[in-house]
Amino acid sequence: KAGVTQTPRYLIKTRGQQVTLSCSPISGHRSVSWYQQTPGQGLQFLFEYFSETQRNKGNFPGRFSGRQFSNSRSEMNVSTLELGDSALYLCASSPGLAGGTTDTQYFGPGTRLTVL
Contact footprint for other proteins (CB under 8 A): 4, 6, 31, 33, 35, 42-43, 45, 48, 50, 55-56, 58, 90, 92, 94, 96, 99-110, 112
C-beta of 18: minimal distance to other proteins in Å?
24
As measured in angstroms, the least distance from the Cβ of 20 to other proteins is 19
By beta-carbon proximity to other proteins, the closer residue of 3 and 61 is 3
At a CB cut-off of 8 Å and minimum separation 6, what does 48 contact? 31, 32, 33, 34, 54, 55, 56, 57, 100
Q: How many residues does the chain have?
A: 116
Minimum CB separation from other proteins for residue 53, in Å? Answer: 12
Q: Which is nearer to other proteins, 42 or 62 (CB)?
A: 42
Using CA atoms, how far apart are residues 24 and 3, in angstroms rounded to an integer?
Answer: 9
Q: Say if CB 82 and CB 115 are below 8 A apart.
A: yes
